[in-house]
Amino acid sequence: MTKSKQVFISYDHADTRFAHQLAEDLRRSGIKVWIAPDSIQPGESWVEAINRGLQESTHMVTVITPAAIESEWVKMETNVAIALERKGRLRVIPLDVKPCDPPPLWTNYQMIPFKSSYEEGLNQLATNLEFRATPHKPMRAPEQKDSLSRPELSMSEMLAKIKPLVTDHCSKGSNIRAESRLIEDLGMDDLDLQEFPMALEEEFDIEIPPEDSYDAETQYLKLKTVGAWAAYLIQRLRG
């Protein structure tokens, strides 16, 4: 039985905004999408979910950026996809999003350029995947978003705003205080630690650079408490 068309999007956390914008536009155009963490089912491990996504997908698009070529997950997913392509099980389409030096094996592919224009890149991807591109909205640069004026919040006001988001992403959210540690006290797991900064980005209409929140070597959060996140957000919103 022929599989229905589904696109697996491989990306690094640093490129979350781009990857999820792309996923939204693909879905709006009628294309099924597998993207972490949205496509991970309750109780499913990260590895199990990726295996399922690759098995179910007909295409893999890799978001090629400096962060992506340093990501062990992106490298693993893309190399596995290339092996599956050689068996005729899916097709690999790299996206040239930011200037970098990708692994030699990846350079054998004709990359679709997104560096100069998101809409033009989406149209070229649409041609490759044979669908009609209908972008929801143009991508906005982070500096445009950060330049918007916002009222300054006090620490107590900021804590009140982020507590509901903390509750949504922890298993022990009955007693949330500024000193509460996200992992040890509130029980956030690996998926929560991926989703929580994304929820803050959406709530406050900002981009949180990965170097602000994650340690490059351990991939654990640098900001370990609710209060640390509140203080960080207050500083960010000041511009």
Nearest residue to 72 (alpha-carbon basis) of 238, 217, 232, 224: 217
Looking at residue 13, what is its pLDDT?
87
- pLDDT score of 38: 85
Mean pLDDT within 33-60: 90
- In this prediction, residue 31 has a pLDDT band, given cuts at 50, 70 and 90, of confident
Give the start-end residues of each E strand in the chain. Answer: 6-10, 32-34, 59-64, 91-96, 112-113
For the chain, list the domains and their CATH numbers.
6-129 (3.40.50.10140), 143-237 (1.10.1200.10)
pLDDT, tens only, 203-222: 888 888 877 776 655 555 67
What percent of the chain stands above pLDDT 70? Answer: 85
Task: Please compute the mean of the pLDDT values over residues 1-7 and round it to a whole number.
Answer: 76
pLDDT digits (tens, 9 = 90+) for 120-171: 899 899 888 876 555 555 454 444 444 344 567 788 888 889 998 888 888 7
Query: Whole-model pTM?
Result: 0.59
- Sheet holding 112-113: strands in order across? 32-34, 6-10, 59-64, 91-96, 112-113
Give me the pLDDT at residue 150, please: 55
Mean pLDDT in residue range 74-93: 94
pLDDT for 157? 86
Q: Give the pLDDT of residue 64.
A: 96
Q: What percent of the chain has pLDDT over 90?
A: 32
The answer to whether residue 229 scores a pLDDT higher than 80 is: yes
Residue 134 is predicted with a pLDDT of 55
Beta-carbon contacts of residue 38 (< 8 Å; ≥ 6 apart) = 20, 23
Res 228: pLDDT: 86
Q: What value does the mean pLDDT of the chain take?
A: 83
Which amino acid type is present at position 238?
R
Q: Extract long-range pairs of 174-178: CB within 8 Å, 24+ residues apart.
A: 176/226, 177/226, 177/227, 178/225, 178/226, 178/227, 178/230
For residue 34, pLDDT beyond 90: yes
